[in-house]
Amino acid sequence: MKLFLPTIIAALAAICAADKWENGAACLSNHGKFWQAIQHFCFGNDNSIVVPSDYASQGKGVDGHRVFITGNCGPAQWVPQGICLKQFYYMCAHSQNGGSALKQYGRDGCQTWHMWPKYL
Residue 83 confidence (pLDDT) above 80:
yes
Q: Is 46 left (phi over 0), alpha (psi -120 to 50) or beta?
A: left
Residue 77, strand partner residues: 51
pLDDT digits (tens, 9 = 90+) for 69-78: 999 999 999 9
pLDDT digits (tens, 9 = 90+) for 25-60: 999 999 999 999 999 999 998 878 999 999 999 999
Strand arrangement, sheet containing 111-116: 60-62, 65-71, 111-116, 101-105
pTM of the entire predicted model: 0.81
Mean pLDDT of all residues in the chain? 85
Answer yes or no: are the C-beta atoms of 105 and 111 closer than 8 Å. yes
Neighbour count for residue 18 (Cβ, 10 Å)? 10
